[in-house]
Structure 1
Amino acid sequence: MVLSVIEDRAHEIWSFIQNGPADYRRDKRGPAYAFRVGPAAQRRLSEIISVPLDLWQGEPNVVNCKLRLHVNQALHACLDDFETTGQLYSWIVAEWGGVKKGRSTVQGWALQHQEWRASHYDPAILMVHAGTVGFGRISSWSKIFAFAQPGHHAIYDSRVAVSLNLALEYLGEPARFFIPQSQSKLVQRVRGRLMATAQPLLGYSDYLLWLTATREQSILGGDPVDFLNLEATTFTRAPMLAQTFAD
């Protein structure tokens, strides 16, 4: 059963994502997280909400944690301010996440009381949406979900899915996650091959299942990791892992 595989082999999947194949050179693994927020995105955020002076100081993984917490607090402080909420949605997806296409639609998600719209404060509503919407714009709405409910949700994008599929392939499992379209030429090159399976493609709820199982197993193992750490590392490792598959 696919779901039992995702849970039962959660730690093995995580170990592969962290370390690569058994013969992978350790010096190729790189940092756990190296994504930096550019000056334009920093300025734009300060135009939407108040930003502390030290928010952008520190290593990328430290800044990422501080940023997620700060924007999370801002989202929950402006529940009745649909304009600010929409601007934050747009900033998360377009400026921070780099998904520029359809940003007006993303901003409009804060103005409509349909499905999860403007309900980022309620993880249950978000979960219902995640379970019914399928793969449409998954890279966009999952970013908002991750900022709004970091203990319950995480970003699902092409890099995350590539890392998971490479781990499943390495472990000899036929299950595969849906891989969204990517701006990365390398990811696009391996995308089709990594989604080749006779089984229905896995999606967001399956991803959350893996995250939850891995988090719980890491706690039992004495080396706890949270959703943010899992997501950030899985995102960062994708190009390096994909290169070994493409070679």
Structure 2
Amino acid sequence: MSFYHEVLKDIASGKVPLQFRVKDLSHSPVPGKSGHFKIGDVSYKESTLLTWPANYSIGPNGVQGQQVQQGRTPAFFRLEVGLYTPIEECEAGETVTLFSSVKDVSGYIEEPEAEILSTVQLAPAAETKSRTAPEIIAESIARRPFQVELRKQRCTYPKQPAKGWGARLEAYFWPKLENNWAHNQSSLQAMYQQAEAIETELRERRQLNPMRLSRLFDDVCAWGGVRRPSVEDDALATQAEGALAAIDQGEVPEQGLAINSAWTKLYAMLRPGHCVIFDSRVATALIAALDPYIEQLKDQKDFVKNYKGLGTVQQGRGGTRPRAFSDTWTNGYQKWDAQLAANHLCCEIRDYLNIHHERSDFAKPDGTPWTLREVEAVLFMDGY
């Protein structure tokens, strides 16, 4: 079993943090074998610890480890110099023989040795070329254990890394640790009921009720922890009518119709099966999963057609945000192209999970189909 899979074992058991440095891997020296450390169930030389993560990593702005440059599948994403996190679980594939004479992209160079250190199984790099954006994200979330350091609470959460979509949904909280997904469901249902009443009145009267819509906007912003835009009730109704009409017809809303971290939440309540809350955390999760594969994705006609507007939302702060990504991504903040691309992408992720519902790492705890709001909740946590 590969070095990568042994690292995943230690992450799952809590011995190694999800975002780790090389020093975190040297937690268990092997008795009687100087310079050897146990990772998972296998003993490795210190030189392997120093070089393997770097050589099989992809970093911001297209930085690649030596083995990745030679066509091997990346196993880790380099968040910054010397800081790594798993990209996704590597599948069995070609056999790769590792030597210690490899260059670390963070600047460390290990002196050449004649001894073969280990043999690991990695997927051929070409295997990822045919994978779609929704598939890459769904698989990445399923296979990467989720655990973060919460600065305000001064704790690691969850205590044991959550692995799989279902476990990640159970690890959701907002805004406080005790407010889990089940707790938030009651708030969401109340807003959905308001939205349904507004939609019913729209169908009957062919216009939105400004006062009802304003109350919903107040509640949405309060729940989401964002400032409500200063807009009069009538202007709010006019904006929402124009945006919803365009969304329903698959068109880009006309210039002048606002979209930001507040408006995206309103439209998500009014179109719960079609509109995702595209804020900095959701954007970060989507881009982080796709960024290592962007050169391959740019060759896919479907990606260019459906997701070319997808961009970063770097205005958010906290946790691991803002993160450094390659220069490919444009600024998606307050851009309808980015919102619509995210809508399409997250709906595709939801559908992919439901099509493959028999997989345990895709299944929800209660066995019901995934909703767009639940997919969004998992992405929201991943983008912390």
Q: TM-score range by the shorter chain?
A: 0.5 to 0.7
TM-score (norm 2): 0.44
Map 1:1-247; keep pairs closer than 5 Å. 8-20=132-144, 27-29=160-162, 31-36=170-175, 60-78=180-198, 79=201, 81-93=209-221, 95-100=222-227, 103-105=229-231, 108=232, 111-117=235-241, 124=248, 128=251, 131-132=253-254, 137-171=259-293, 173=295, 177-184=311-318, 186-188=320-322, 190=323, 193-194=324-325, 196-198=326-328, 200=330, 203-222=338-357, 223=363, 224-239=369-384
Q: Which has the bigger relative contact order, CA under 8 A and spacing at least 6?
A: 1
Q: One-letter code of the match for 2:327?
A: T
How big is each residue's C-alpha offset from its partner over 1:203-234, in whole Å with a ceiling of 9 and x where there is no partner?
11211221222222222212442201110000
Cα displacement (A) at 1:155? 0.3
Q: Quick one: distance in 1 between partners of 2:246 and 2:329?
A: 32
Query: For the structure 1 residues 147 and 122, does the alpha-carbon distance in structure 2 shift closer, same or farther, using more than 3 Å as the test?
Result: farther
Query: For the structure 1 residues 178 and 136, does the alpha-carbon distance in structure 2 shift closer, same or farther, using more than 3 Å as the test?
Result: farther
What 5-or-longer segments of structure 2 have no aligned partner? 1-128, 149-157, 163-167, 202-207, 299-309, 333-337, 358-362, 364-368
The 8 Å contact of residues 239 and 258 in structure 2, kept in 1 or not, is answered as no
TM-score (norm 1): 0.65
Say what the alpha-carbon RMSD is for the aligned residues: 3.9
Q: Quick one: distance in 2 between partners of 1:109 and 1:6?
A: 48
Query: For the structure 1 residues 65 and 21, does the alpha-carbon distance in structure 2 shift closer, same or farther, using more than 3 Å as the test?
Result: closer
Q: Quick one: distance in 1 between partners of 2:265 and 2:286?
A: 18
What 5-or-longer segments of structure 1 have no aligned partner? 39-57, 240-247
Cα displacement (A) at 1:114? 3.3
How big is each residue's C-alpha offset from its partner over 1:183-218, in whole Å with a ceiling of 9 and x where there is no partner?
426413x2xx22x42465661121122122222222
Aligned-residue sequence identity (percent) comes to: 19
Q: One-letter code of the match for 1:87?
A: R
- Residue correspondences, number: 205
Higher helix residue share: 1
Q: One-letter code of the match for 2:313?
A: I
Query: For the structure 1 residues 26 and 63, does the alpha-carbon distance in structure 2 shift closer, same or farther, using more than 3 Å as the test?
Result: closer
The 8 Å contact of residues 110 and 117 in structure 1, kept in 2 or not, is answered as no
Cα displacement (A) at 1:170? 3.7
The 8 Å contact of residues 311 and 329 in structure 2, kept in 1 or not, is answered as no
Q: Quick one: distance in 2 between partners of 1:149 and 1:158?
A: 20
Aligned partner of 2:49 in structure 1 is none
The 8 Å contact of residues 239 and 257 in structure 2, kept in 1 or not, is answered as no
The 8 Å contact of residues 211 and 233 in structure 2, kept in 1 or not, is answered as no
